Amino acid sequence: MRLTRVTLFFISLIMGLGFYRLTDYLLEDLEAQTLQVTEESMIDSSQLLANFVENDQDLTKIFQGIEGRKFEARIFAVLKNKVGINAYLTDENGLVLFDSANPENVGKDFSEWSDVYKTLRGKYGARSSRSNEKDPTSSIMYVGAPIRRDGTITGCVSVYKAQSDILPFVRDRRQTIIWSVILIGLGILSLIVAVFIWLFRPVGKLTNYARAITRGERRSRPKVGLGREVSTLANALHDMRESLEGRQYAERYIQTLTHELKSPLAAIQGAAELLNEDMPQTDRARFVDNIRSQTKRCEELIHQLLELSALEAQTHLENSHQFDLAARCQKSLDEMSPLAETAEVTLHAQLPTNLTFFGNEPLLGSALNHLLENAIQFSPAGGEVTLSFRKSGKNLTLSVTDQGPGIPDFAAARAFERFYSYRKEGSGKGNGLGLAFVKEVAELHRGTATISRTEKGGTTVGINLPLGSQ
């Protein structure tokens, strides 16, 4: 629990810094971009007014008419009810002839102002000046346009607009960006918390519950929340326990169940641990999907184990159908990839593109998962595990090879016996049901299971299956 909280804290901290940087980036250019758009429209206005003057239109009458106009325009959340643009006219020497908002400027020399100076020389003239140097919101934008007579510049019309008219739009857009980033961040954070609450913690409870069953303890079903996958698994575990109580072979199958759950729970644990890492959203979604598929697989395994006692007495395999064995092998590799990544082991496959096989797909998939899990456990960090395929006549062999220390001859002779487990000193001891399960699956498919030490020191376990058996 403490590790979960610490991990969640650091994930939240990293997300917070990331969203702060994103917000800062978006807001940094917001005002500049808005002013650029405004300047573009002012260029159009200045050119229009310059054309009016060139055609002997009186600017005084134009602006007097504008001042008398009544209108209301709501632009998103901002209400506009007056014209916010003005203009002044100068002659070829820069002397002001007309100013719509400041008549007192008439007669003044504006020839040194950038908008007038550059425009009179045939260049693009524009400037931004404060009416009050101590007030940063008092800036006014100016854009000039030349007045030409017979091809000669005889004056300048400068359109100007207070930046304070634009700031309400900037503030409104700023609030929209901030709230959008906050809501997105809260959504992602909620998703991470949901993963921990609905999947990570319940998996730990179910693991402890399964271990308690193997010890013969009478423990009530753990409360795992409302998540469909984990609730289904908890119900299946509880139902299976009740169905086995009071039977002479209850201990044997509870031990088998625990062993069978190790593989999917290990894959779930590996994927859940990887969720703590910083990764792209697509990879995070893939590991969450893997957790869901593994919990579903746990439910299927529980029901299959309840049928094993009946299968042992049968001379042929039931519930068989045609399926793509190559696709089933690839699925096993995908299911074991989180465990392999945690152990720093690389999985390789040498498989055909497709291979139709008749048999029990879930049982063969479980057997492959056992072999891959054992190979990963025996492989050193940085090692490789290879799943290969070989076809010979009417038989095929699926082999899993690791780069571990290799199994000795005395252990290989007993490797498929129930409850016999060989582990190199210091690596722990298993319950000895994994390879026994593999052998039983192979025999139910009228095949055999083999194990041998490779020349380079690793171990190869193979499942030899006849093709076309029904």
| Neighbour tally for 285: CB within 10 Å | 11
Continuous segment of H or E residues that includes residue 303: helix 281-312
| 45/109 same-domain check | yes
Q: Is the pLDDT of residue 270 over 90?
A: no
Residue 315 has pLDDT above 50, yes or no: no
What share of the chain has pLDDT > 90, as a percent? Answer: 23
What's at 341, amino acid-wise? E
Residue 199 lies in a domain: yes
**Is there a single domain that holds both residue 100 and residue 119?**
yes
Token pair of 50, please? 């310059």
Burial of 99 (0-12, 13-18, 19+ CB in 10 A): buried
- Where is mean pLDDT largest: 5-14, 38-47, 245-254, 419-428? 38-47
Residues spanned by the domain of 255: 190-312
Query: Which residues have C-beta within 8 Å of that of residue 237, sequence separation ≥ 6?
Result: 206, 209, 210, 213, 221, 302
- The answer to whether position 174 is within a domain reads no
What pLDDT is stored for residue 426 in this prediction? 45
Per-residue pLDDT averaged across 196-205, rounded?
A: 70
Lowest-confidence region among 122-126, 205-209, 353-357: 205-209
Give the CA-trace dihedral at 433, 439, 441, 447, to 10 degrees.
180
Whether residue 48 is found in the same domain as residue 105? yes
Which is nearest to 313 in space by CA: 264, 259, 249, 373? Answer: 249
Whether the pLDDT of residue 241 is over 80: the answer is no
Residue 247 lies in a domain: yes
Q: Which two tokens stand for residue 356?
A: 């139709």
* 306 and 337 part of one domain: no
| Lowest-confidence segment of 33-42, 225-234, 446-455 by average pLDDT | 225-234
What pLDDT is attached to residue 314? 47
Asked whether residue 29 falls in the same domain as residue 155, the answer is yes
Residue 84 and residue 142 in one domain: yes
Beta strands in 134-256 (DSSP E): 139-149, 152-162
Average pLDDT over residues 351-373: 86
- What's the rounded Cα separation, in Å, for the pair 13 and 19? 10
**E strand segments, 131-220:** 139-149, 152-162
254 & 338 share domain: no
The contacts of residue 116 (CB under 8 Å, 6+ apart) are 90, 94, 110, 125, 144, 156, 158
Q: 145: which 2 tokens? A: 């346009």
Q: Beta strands of 226-301 (E only): which ranges?
A: none
| Overall average pLDDT of the 155-161 stretch | 95
Split into its structural domains, the chain has a count of 3
Measured CA to CA in angstroms, residue 15 lies from 21, 181, 200, 208, 365 at distances of 10, 11, 20, 32, 39
347: domain CATH number? 3.30.565.10
Predicted pLDDT at 470: 44
Please list the residues that pair with 399 across neighbouring strands: 388, 462
Inside any domain, residue 18: no
Residues 369 and 400 in one domain: yes
Q: How confident is the model at residue 64 (pLDDT cuts 50, 70, 90)?
A: confident
Same domain, 329 and 449: yes
pLDDT of the residue at 432: 57
Question: 168-184: per-residue pLDDT in tens?
Answer: 777 777 888 888 888 88
What residues have CB less than 8 Å from 22, skipping those under 6 apart? Answer: 181
Query: Does 184 map to a domain?
Result: no
pLDDT tens digits, one per residue of 97-107? 999 989 999 99
Q: Which residue has the tokens 């957790």?
A: 291
Q: Which residues contact 187 (CB under 8 A, 6 or more apart)?
A: none
Are the C-beta atoms of residues 263 and 373 closer than 8 Å to each other? Answer: yes
Last residue of a domain, one of 275, 290, 312: 312
Q: H/E element holding 216?
A: none
Kindly state whether residues 153 and 37 are assigned to the same domain.
yes
Does residue 353 lie within any of the structural domains?
yes
Question: When comparing pLDDT for 20 and 143, which is higher?
Answer: 143
**Shared domain check, 449 and 368:** yes
Give the CATH number for residue 42: 3.30.450.20
Residues 285 and 406 in one domain: no
Residues 83-100 have a mean pLDDT of 93
Question: Ramachandran region of residue 391, left (φ > 0), alpha (ψ -120 to 50) or beta?
Answer: beta
Q: Is residue 54 part of a domain?
A: yes
2-28 and 167-195 helices, crossing angle to 10°: 160
Whether residue 17 lies inside any domain: the answer is: no
User: In what helix (H) or strand (E) does residue 90 lie, and over which residues does it extend?
Assistant: strand 85-91
Among 278, 312, 346, identify where a domain stops.
312
pLDDT value at residue 280: 79
